[in-house]
Structure 1
Amino acid sequence: MATSLKKGMLYVMIANLINLGFNLITNFVLPKELSVENYAMIKTFQLYISYAGLFHFGFVDGMYLKYGGKSVNNIKKDDLNTNLSTLRIFQILVTFICTIVAICLKNPLFICFSLAVMPINLGNYFKQLYQATGEFGLYGKIMNANTILIFIANMMWIFIFRVDSGIYFLVSNVVVYFLIWIVLEINCRRMFKDTRYKIFTFSVKEFINNIRDGILLTVGNLSSVLLTSMDRWFVKALLDTMAFAQYSFAVSMENFMNVAVTPVTITLYNFFCREKNVDRIKKIRNQVMIFAAVIVSSAFPARFILETYLRKYLNSSRVMFLLFASQLFYIIIKSIYVNLYKAQGKQRTYFIKLTLVIVMGFLFNIVCFKIYPAKESFAIGTLLSAIFWYFICFPDFKWLDYKIRELIYPFVQVIAFLVCGFIFNAIIGILLYIVCTVVSSLILLPEETKGMVTMVKDKVSSFR
Structure 2
Amino acid sequence: MENFKKNSIYAISSQLSGLFLSFFIALIIPKFLGVIEFSYWQLFLFYVNYLGLLHFGLNDGIYLKYGGQRREELPLQQLAKQFTILTISQFFIMIIVLLLSFFIENAQRKTIWIAVALYLPLVNINGFIGYLLQSINEIYLYSISVIIDKIIIIVGVLSLIFFNYRDFAIYIYVYVFSKLISTLYLYNRSRKVTRFNFNIHLSDWKETKILISSGIKLMFANIMGTLILGLNRKLVDIFWGIEAFGRFSFAISLTNFFLLFISQVSIVIFPALRRIN
TM-score bracket for this pair, using the shorter chain length: 0.7 to 0.9
Q: Are 1:53 and 1:222, in contact at CA under 8 Å, matched by a contact in 2?
A: no
Tell me what 1:140 maps to.
Answer: 143
Q: Are 2:38 and 2:246, in contact at CA under 8 Å, matched by a contact in 1?
A: yes
Tell me what 2:101 maps to.
Answer: 102
- Tell me whether 1:155 sits opposite 2:154 in the alignment: no
Name the aligned partner's letter for residue 183 of structure 1: Y
Tell me what 1:187 maps to.
Answer: 189
Name the aligned partner's letter for residue 108 of structure 1: T
TM-superposed deviation, 1:33: 0.7
Tell me what 2:223 maps to.
Answer: 222
Tell me what 1:301 maps to.
Answer: none
Tell me what 1:43 maps to.
Answer: 42
Q: Tell which has more relative contact order, 1 or 2 (C-alpha 8 A, sep 6+).
A: 2
Q: Are 2:71 and 2:193, in contact at CA under 8 Å, matched by a contact in 1?
A: no
How far apart are the structure 2 equivalents of 1:257 and 1:119?
24
TM-superposed deviation, 1:53: 1.0
Q: Are 1:61 and 1:215, in contact at CA under 8 Å, matched by a contact in 2?
A: yes
Q: Are 1:11 and 1:136, in contact at CA under 8 Å, matched by a contact in 2?
A: yes
Name the aligned partner's letter for residue 253 of structure 1: L
How far apart are the structure 1 equivalents of 2:196 and 2:231?
40
Tell me what 2:57 maps to.
Answer: 58
TM-superposed deviation, 1:79: 2.4
TM-superposed deviation, 1:49: 0.5
- Aligned to 2:103, the other structure's residue is in SS state helix
Flag the 1:89–1:252 CA change in 2: closer, same or farther, 3 A: same
Matches within 5 A, 1:55-454: 55-106=54-105, 107-160=110-163, 162-189=164-191, 191=192, 197-198=195-196, 200-202=198-200, 203-258=204-259, 260-273=261-274
Flag the 1:267–1:187 CA change in 2: closer, same or farther, 3 A: closer
TM-superposed deviation, 1:172: 2.3
TM-superposed deviation, 1:8: 3.3
How far apart are the structure 2 equivalents of 1:176 and 1:152?
10
Q: Are 1:89 and 1:200, in contact at CA under 8 Å, matched by a contact in 2?
A: no
What percent of counterpart residues are identical? 25
How far apart are the structure 1 equivalents of 2:242 and 2:193?
49
How far apart are the structure 2 equivalents of 1:155 and 1:62?
38
TM-superposed deviation, 1:181: 2.3
Q: Are 1:130 and 1:138, in contact at CA under 8 Å, matched by a contact in 2?
A: yes
How far apart are the structure 1 equivalents of 2:182 and 2:199?
22
TM-superposed deviation, 1:218: 2.4
Flag the 1:256–1:134 CA change in 2: closer, same or farther, 3 A: same
How far apart are the structure 1 equivalents of 2:25 and 2:5?
30
Tell me what 1:29 maps to.
Answer: 28
How many pairs align?
A: 270
How far apart are the structure 2 equivalents of 1:237 and 1:133?
43
Name the aligned partner's letter for residue 33 of structure 2: L
Per-residue CA deviation, residues 270-299 of structure 1 (Å, 9 max, x unaligned), is 3554679xxxxxxxxxxxxxxxxxxxxxxx
How far apart are the structure 1 equivalents of 2:142 and 2:189?
13
How far apart are the structure 1 equivalents of 2:3 and 2:183?
28
Structure 1-normalised TM-score?
Answer: 0.53
How far apart are the structure 2 equivalents of 1:188 and 1:137?
12
Flag the 1:260–1:216 CA change in 2: closer, same or farther, 3 A: closer
| Pair member with larger Rg | 1
Query: Please, which runs of 5 or more residues in structure 2 have no aligned partner?
Result: none
CA-atom RMSD in angstroms: 2.6
TM-superposed deviation, 1:100: 1.4
TM-superposed deviation, 1:156: 2.0
Per-residue CA deviation, residues 23-48 of structure 1 (Å, 9 max, x unaligned), is 43333210121110011111111111
Query: Please, which runs of 5 or more residues in structure 1 have no aligned partner?
Result: 277-464
- Aligned to 2:137, the other structure's residue is in SS state coil
TM-superposed deviation, 1:258: 4.7
Flag the 1:187–1:39 CA change in 2: closer, same or farther, 3 A: same
- Aligned to 1:104, the other structure's residue is in SS state coil
TM-superposed deviation, 1:239: 3.5
Name the aligned partner's letter for residue 252 of structure 2: V
Flag the 1:217–1:263 CA change in 2: closer, same or farther, 3 A: closer
